[in-house]
Structure 1
Amino acid sequence: MNLPTDALLEQADRLARRVSGLPWGEAEDSLSRLLAGASGSTLLEIVETAGRNLRMAEATLMRAAGEIAKRSDRDAVEPLARQLGDRTAAALVARVADVPLGRAADWCRVGAELVDRESLTGEPLPSRWPALSSAVDGGEVAVHEARVILGALEAVVPHAEPERLAGLEEHLIAQARILSFADLSALCRAIPDVFDPEGAELREEELRAKSGFKIVHRRDGLLRWIIDAHPEAAGFLTAALDARTAPRRAVVFADEDDPEQDRALEDTRTLEQKRLDALQSICRDSLKADDGDVSGTPVTVVVHIPLEALESGIGAATIDGVDAPISAATARRLACDAKIIPVVLGGESEPLDLGRARRLFSQAQRLAMAVRDGGCVWWACLEPPSRCEAAHLTGWARGGRTDLAAGALLCPYHHRRFDNDGWELRVIHGARHLIPPPWVDATQRPRPVDRPRLP
């Protein structure tokens, strides 16, 4: 009888012999140092063997978890999981095997689906999906791959004859051997539409019913957004975010005298941070286009800041609807946008000033900046004028003037860097240059701002 445990012992012995056969040096007293001296082909062979070991071990765990799930069924006289103090079979397996609950749930779900059956008279019957069951036991298909294959098979059971189901089962097993898990999952998601095209609308409605937007207020002041997007919403969200974050849209300009990338102008944000900034930019654009009124005031973001914090740039401010405070420096930067209303508070927290028109650049000035700057003035940033803010080169609260020459277009990310990091913008020989702070570049080498233009 060929059991997964037999194959597991064989694979484990092969792995042990392969590792123990590596040349030992005098200083090799750990597996890490031993593998450091192995060739690339040897490392790949060890990874392949260990991976097969892992699949075989998981197949054994899946079989045991499936039996535990069977004995923990609600219809059982004494459910095993409840006898041992756990609510579900997955919780019991997760606790005993010391693995995440989701992984244990996969073992229980797949094990229950692939378990051998019995007839009404007690005669043994093969698994409902014999080919997949054999492939998992043999380590050819991993448990997480079997999970998505089972989902596709179950979805088409009402719409396919047994012969077609058996052929689909064999086809998916063959694809699991050659496709990545992401590609296999995409294939399995598309299969129900092939066998039941008329049910696509119902399946979409089921996904809409599961979708939603959850806001979690964390203790550290951050807001966590959990979005489960149905396909239509995901399409819009993905396209909008990709349009502003896709790496292929970024162009890097190399200086002939400095072939290496300018570290002072390097964008150090992670992809997650870029996505958040892109989403914030999209929301800004939405507010600019919203002509709805609230008490005669355009829908906007309201920032509350004490007068002394506005004047000194030291302190905190709050945004309506957000619990965590922001710094006074951020509030002063936000006040450059006409859709941000700064509510200046006095000693008794009474409103003293709700944004003065002269601190904001006019529409005509913004248009002139768009023509002059062509977008964000930060070198190599490609954000267009529509996604930029009209920034004061010297803060308005520090005496800066709301003049065309005293302003420039900066995207929200580079506006924040300009204000918070201490950058300057100077005119040198008739051309504007960004001057980095000493802690960014000790030489404070000027970086040209104006984009090349055709005559």
Structure 2
Amino acid sequence: MGQWSIDELSALTPGEVIAVNEALGRARRLLDAAQSRVASEISRQSRPELGPQSLAKAQGFRSPTALIAATIGTTNGEAARLVQVGDATAPRMTFSGEAAPARHPHVADQLAAGRIGAAAASMIITMLDRVAVRAGMDAVDQAERRLVESAPGLSHDQLSKLIARVEAWVDPDGVEPREDDLRSERSLTVREERNGMIVITAHLDPEHAAPVKTAIEAMVTADLRAQREAGDDASRRSVRQMQADALTRLAEHALGCDRRDLPLDGATVVVRISANDLADGTGYATIDGVTTPVSVSTARRMAAGGSVIPWVLGGDSEILDWGRAKRLFTTPQKLALVERDGGCAMCGAPPSHTKAHHIRWWARDAGPTDLSNGVLLCESCHHRVHDNGWDIRIDGTGVAAKVWFLPPDYIDPSRTPRLGGRARFDLVA
């Protein structure tokens, strides 16, 4: 790239801008690693038993986190996180005076290499420490390896989703108590403001939220589609307004059940769990569109309530590969794509926000209507793929296949494939 100054960014090519952004990101993560080690040492030299000789108190601060926050210009919470990460990733000393590895060596390695930052490290460490006693050392070590291998390149929200899945896998016995806590905290309040607006505030656990979220998302998706087709910019509603209208229509429907005008378009709450886990009562289940896993007992309860429709993927009565015989993907094919992609295979939007698209176009490229040529994409990612020159590759067959997105060469000259779909969060590759 040669020499340049920050004022010359506008002269860089898109690929060079991305390269600069990645270099700065790595530099920031390396700085996080150094800062966390320093924060840990400040904390060590500010132990309460040192009294007036505490480093923080000698500097005029009541605590090491107050010292760190003031000197680097951050919050006490961020300073505490740096101390936490530093303590968990610094080499230790045994009581006999021998050197010992860090408490979380895999996190320490990735942090020191600049592959993850302090925020990601803290999220991983917090979960591992929470389940360590119940899960055992071997399971925690395996979970730590899995997380640090997958964390690079994930956003905060995506990493949170992966951590929730890993926690349920490493500590399945803890899923039910956690969801019991959430269920006990569910609430909904309705109050009227002075100007006449009605304010509804709800806190719902995953089981109770799933049908509400699925129905509202399906109606909003239908409204957005109709709004685009109408092309009437003057009457456009915001997504928040559409969500409010959807809730109103659901209530109106409940008050007059003979009405059939809700555009739910086949929306279904999908709870997935293996047949063995469902029969044995082991493991955990997941709900499409909801991050937090649920227990087997919750999955059974939802099934008993009619929220789960049993179906056998790829059974004798379902043709999953149509070749050129059909242009549109069938319902069984779409369910299979949901199983494989988990929603938008590129950005992770829930299934209700997506459509099944041909990778090789049906008309232009004579692409077949088969799973190996299909992918779930939201409207935005669909345009991004086609307008910006991204390619999609499917490795494997059926619902176990992996979806890879290949960026155009102006973004990444090496065109390094990026894993998409549900495989980003699966525990077994």
TM-score by length of 2: 0.49
| Higher normalized contact order (CA 8 Å, seq sep 6+, divided by chain length) | 2
Asked which structure has the greater CA Rg, the reply is: 1
Q: TM-score, normalised by structure 1?
A: 0.47
